[in-house]
Structure 1
Amino acid sequence: MPHEPVGPAVHGDGEALASPFVKCLLRLIRTQDSFGLWEGHSDAELLAEFIITKQQQRAVPFGGDPDPDALWRLDMFYTAVALAIEERSGVSTSPTIEMKPVGASGGWAFCRDVHRFGFETFRKLAEAGTKLVDDATAAIEA
């Protein structure tokens, strides 16, 4: 089944859930559900873990290893970016850094506040992913 390419950034949360990047992220998340536990969940419910308010971010302690959920969010987001770039450009892509707990990852030197990775709204999630995809495909096409 062909998927629509990632398009321009969206402006509302309802539109954000329908954006091509978010649809790509949702496909990726749903492929992780090998036991069917998320089948009855709405798209908004599946993406709820990516929504972190400023108050929630401030409550997250900075020291120590990042929460496995934060690492999962980071991995899913950037894997979806790579997948969307590949769908739009036809060029094979993949994320280049795998984040791991216990300080085993060189990626931490580049990713500040991994503990707090998330977005305030669905719109901001869609805009961030779409911008990365747009920038990368523009660079590929240049």
Structure 2
Amino acid sequence: MPRAADLAQDSYGSWEGKSDAELLADFIVTRKQRRAIPIIGDPDPDVLWRLDMFYTAVGLRIEERSGLVTPPMIEMKPMGASDDCFSRPGGWSLCQDIHRFGFETFRKLAEAGTKLVDDATAAIE
């Protein structure tokens, strides 16, 4: 897997020289932190950035393996009281969990990304 620095969208060099752990630290959200995050209202812009960067990295890895361009396609809209909330097996319940997007450990982050890449690559093949 590429180093986090290779995937970082850093046009000003502010992340240059940082370790993978430093670059990926924002993706780690412990249970205690997760419980403290309210799930009411619009998601924090930092959460949306993490979500976008995670799926962009997954798409880049799929592209590297398959040769097919795979940009993430995520549409965010406010949820009304009548809107359906969905979750898929092994996936995110996007109505509530979007506010808490992150992984408890670096290992869980890597496993989630690897599983998505492996599943997509298998589907392409």
Shorter-chain TM band: 0.7 to 0.9
- 1:41 aligns to 2:18 (yes or no): yes
Q: Supply the AA of the counterpart residue of 1:129.
A: G
CA RMSD of aligned residues (A): 2.1
Shift of residue 98 of structure 1?
Answer: 4.3
Asked if the contact 1:75/1:98 (under 8 Å) is kept, the reply is no
Q: How does the TM-score come out when normalised to structure 2?
A: 0.81
Number of aligned residue pairs: give it.
113
Shift of residue 94 of structure 1?
Answer: 1.2
Asked if the contact 2:5/2:15 (under 8 Å) is kept, the reply is no
Q: Supply the AA of the counterpart residue of 2:123.
A: A
What's 2:72 paired with? 95
Equivalent of 1:126, from 105, 110, 119? 110
> What secondary structure sits across from 1:94 in the alignment?
coil
Shift of residue 97 of structure 1?
Answer: 1.4
Counterparts in 2 of 1:99 and 1:79: CA distance versus 1, 3 Å:
farther
Give the unaligned 5+ runs of structure 2.
Answer: 80-84, 87-93
- Determine which structure has the larger helix proportion and give its number: 1
Alignment of 1:1-142 (within 5 A): 20=1, 23=2, 25-29=4-8, 32-99=9-76, 103=78, 111-112=94-95, 113-141=97-125
Counterparts of 2:22 and 2:115 in 1: how far apart (Å)? 23
Counterparts in 2 of 1:28 and 1:115: CA distance versus 1, 3 Å:
same
Counterparts of 1:80 and 1:41 in 2: how far apart (Å)? 18
Give the unaligned 5+ runs of structure 1.
Answer: 1-19
Task: Report Cα offsets for 1:53-109 as digits up to 9, x if no partner.
Answer: 011000001101111110000000001111111110112211111447xx39xxxx5
Counterparts in 2 of 1:78 and 1:87: CA distance versus 1, 3 Å:
same
Q: How does the TM-score come out when normalised to structure 1?
A: 0.72
Asked if the contact 2:3/2:20 (under 8 Å) is kept, the reply is no
Tell me which of the two structures has the higher relative contact order, counting C-alpha pairs closer than 8 angstroms and 6 or more residues apart.
Answer: 1
> What secondary structure sits across from 2:16 in the alignment?
coil
Percent of aligned positions that are identical: 72
